[in-house]
Chain A
Amino acid sequence: MKNNYFGTLSDETLNSLVDNELEIAERSELLAHLQTDQDSKQRACEVNYLKDRVKTAYSNIPHAAQNDTPAKWSVYNKVASVFFAFVLIGLTYIGLNSNIQNTAAQRIVVLDPDGRGQQFSQQNSEEMRVVFHVSNSTRLNADELLDDIESLLQQSIQNHQKVRVEVVAHAAGLDLLRERLSTQKPRIAAMSRQYPELTFVACMNTIARIKREQGVEVKLISDAVATLSGVAHVVMRQQQGWLYIQV
Chain B
Amino acid sequence: MVHVKFPSAFKGAFNNKLELHRADLYRVAWSWCHDTVLAEDLVQETYAKALKNRSQLKEISKLKPWLMRILANLHVDYLRSKQLTEPYEDVHQITENNPDSIASRDESVQIVRDAIAQLNDTHRKIITLVDITEFTYAEVAEILEIPVGTVMSRLSRARDHLKKILNDIDNPKEKLSSSPNILRRVK
Chain A residues in the interface with B (C-beta under 8 A) = 10-12, 15-16, 19, 21, 46-47, 50-51, 53-58, 60-67
- Give the segment of B7-15, B23-31, B49-57, B86-94 that binds chain A: B23-31
A73 to chain B, nearest CB (A): 15
B75 to chain A, nearest CB (A): 16
Complex Cα distance A201/B175, Å? Answer: 41
Interface string of B112-156 (1 = CB under 8 A from A): 110010000000000110111000110000000000000011011
Q: A11-B159, A15-B159, A47-B159 are in contact. Are A61 and B27 (CB under 8 A)?
A: yes
Complex Cα distance A64/B44, Å? Answer: 13
Complex Cα distance A55/B30, Å? Answer: 13
| Choice from A51, A60, A63 contacting B36 with Cβ under 8 Å | A63
Complex contacts, A62 vs chain B, CB 8 Å: 30, 36, 98, 100-101, 104
| Choice from B1, B39, B101, B132 contacting A54 with Cβ under 8 Å | B132
* CB under 8 Å from chain A, chain B span 1-21: 1
Chain B residues in the interface with A (C-beta under 8 A) = 1, 26-27, 30-31, 36-37, 39-40, 98, 100-101, 104-105, 108-109, 112-113, 116, 127-128, 130-132, 136-137, 152-153, 155-156, 159-160, 162-163, 166
Interface of B is mostly: helix
What are the 6 A-B residue pairs with the smallest beta carbon separation, nearest first? A57-B112, A64-B36, A54-B131, A11-B156, A62-B101, A64-B40
| Choice from B31, B101, B137, B163 contacting A58 with Cβ under 8 Å | B31
Complex contacts, A56 vs chain B, CB 8 Å: 108-109, 112
Highest count of chain A CB atoms <10 Å: which of B31, B36, B166:
B36
Q: A12-B156, A50-B159 are in contact. Are A58 and B132 (CB under 8 A)?
A: yes
B140 to chain A, nearest CB (A): 10
Complex Cα distance A67/B40, Å? Answer: 12
Q: A61-B30, A64-B1 are in contact. Are A54 and B104 (CB under 8 A)?
A: no
Complex contacts, B98 vs chain A, CB 8 Å: 62, 67
A70 to chain B, nearest CB (A): 14
A62 to chain B, nearest CB (A): 4
Complex Cα distance A10/B152, Å? Answer: 11
List 14 contacting pairs A-B, 8 Å CB cutoff, sorted by A.
Answer: A12-B153, A15-B152, A16-B137, A50-B163, A51-B131, A53-B112, A54-B162, A55-B131, A57-B116, A60-B104, A63-B26, A63-B40, A64-B37, A67-B100
